[in-house]
Amino acid sequence: MRCFIGFILPEDCKERIFSLQQKMKNLPMKAKFVEKENLHICFSFLGEIDENRIQEVKKKIDEISSKYKKVDVVSKGILFIPNKNYFRVLALDIKAGKEKLTSISNEIVQKIGGDSKPPHITLCRVKSVWNKEELLKFASSSSFEIKFTVDSIQLIKSVLSREGPKYTIIHSSKLL
């Protein structure tokens, strides 16, 4: 089963981010936007894992969750991944709470495995850009900001389809 460990964003945040994504669709680029229901922070991408290992992963998530407090997050600004000169992903940068989320992510990778990137919220995967300057200008002038609390660590199943991935939370463990 294809899985990752992360945190699905609260509904009110998804609505606000979806509005930003709608504005971004007018930018001079071709991109695949993350579906509103799939907006999340990824702690570790596990990929294909054997169903026999699911119970072990759930137990380790519970152990890790018992050590960390809820994290108040402020996400502000558009991030170009890997950088502004050559980017394949546009994301919301995490400003407040980044260090705590990184600690959680590092422990997950150490104890469970997978692949981790610095905390962010992916908005879209960029396929091509017609006017990079206009895109950079939009990003630098954007005052978009959201605040929310990461209150759990979730094991999320990802099923790929033509319409895009379908995420299902198969385990959730509350933070302190």
What is the DSSP secondary-structure string of 86-152? SEEEEEEEEEETHHHHHHHHHHHHHHT--B--SSEEEEEEEEEES-HHHHHHHHHH---EEEEEE-E
For this structure, is 120 an active site residue? yes
Pairing type for strands 2-8 and 152-159 reads: antiparallel
For this structure, is 171 an active site residue? no
**Considering 120, 135, 154, 155, which one is annotated as catalytic?**
120
**Considering 14, 40, 60, 171, which one is annotated as catalytic?**
40
Active centre residues (catalytic): 40, 120
